[in-house]
Amino acid sequence: MKRTKVFAHRGFSGIAPENTMAAFQLAVEAGADGIELDVHMTGDGEIVVLHDEQLERTTTGTGWVKDRTWAELEAVECGLWYVPPVKGERLPTLAQVLELAWETDICLNIELKNNWVAYPGMEERVVALVERYHMAERVILSSFNHNSLKQLSLLKPSWSLAALYDCKLVEPWQYARLIGVNSLHPHYRSVDEEMVQTCQRHGIGIRPYTVDEERDIKRLLAAGVEAIITNHPDRVQKLARHG
């Protein structure tokens, strides 16, 4: 059985403000196999790294990302909400994170946050950035918007694409085939060993999110998932090594 990989959710967000360069750097230093991050698009087409559609929860900005230009956002702080506050963390662009990944051997799971807000042209812009950094081999594109994934599968049939979902699918591998993705990122509660094995037999990898508790990590390691997406990569690494 292959080793289960560890993906740091929004970077090493267990110990640093989510989706910041600090959290991504810590994930690299912790030896995570991958970084999961969320992206949105500004009104003038910049792909920026943030979880929410709106700026208030984690930044000093206000309003919707789609209604702001990059010039309006480049100075917002992203770590002051954190306890204790972290100063000087600016809103990362996808280009900055690609550059960090390119300099290391870490993978990126870029989640397109286009399920609540429409970002026309976002798929093409993300693809162009990944290509600019020659990172196609080390990137997984995921989304809860399965129409967007279908579009990506037509644009880039050979890329790693993953459908995010938080329900129980009857035949997950068949659904993956139908929408043109080669892996699934389900909520961890819907994952069991039989489902993992059946998907694997059909060439569909399973990377559940967001798995932080020891009991759940152990269960999913035993089920043989391809990767675990976690806020605490150190916990998963320790349990994968020593049980």
Q: Which residues bind ligand G3P (CB under 6 A)?
A: 9, 36, 38, 51, 111, 142, 164, 185, 209-210, 229
Find which of Ca ion, ligand G3P, none residue 73 binds, CB within 5 to 8 Å per kind.
none
Residue carrying the six token digits 């043989």: 224
Q: Is the dihedral of CA 185, 187, 189, 190 positive or negative?
A: negative
- For 10-59, strand residue ranges (E) read 34-41, 47-49
Q: Alpha-carbon distance 33 to 13, whole Å?
A: 15
Q: At closest approach, how far in Å is the CB of 144 from ligand G3P?
A: 7
Mark 32-71 with x for binding to Ca ion (rule: CB under 5 A) and - for no binding.
------x---------------------------------
CB 2 within 8 A of CB 31: no
Hey, which residues are catalytic here?
9, 51
CB of 117 to ligand G3P, least distance (A): 14
Neighbour count for residue 179 (Cβ, 10 Å): 13
Site for Ca ion contains 18 (CB under 5 A) = no
Considering the complex, state which of residue 38 and residue 89 has its C-beta at the smaller distance from ligand G3P.
38
- Which CB sits closer to Ca ion, 100 or 110? 110
Is the dihedral angle over the CA atoms 156, 159, 164, 170 positive or is it negative? positive
Residue 9 or 232: which CB sits closer to ligand G3P? 9
∠ CA 81-85-91, rounded to 5°: 60
Stated length of the chain: 243
User: Which residue has its beta carbon closest to Ca ion?
Assistant: 111
65 contacts which partner out of ligand G3P, Ca ion, none, CB within 5 to 8 A by kind?
none
List interacting residues with Ca ion (CB under 5 A): 38, 111
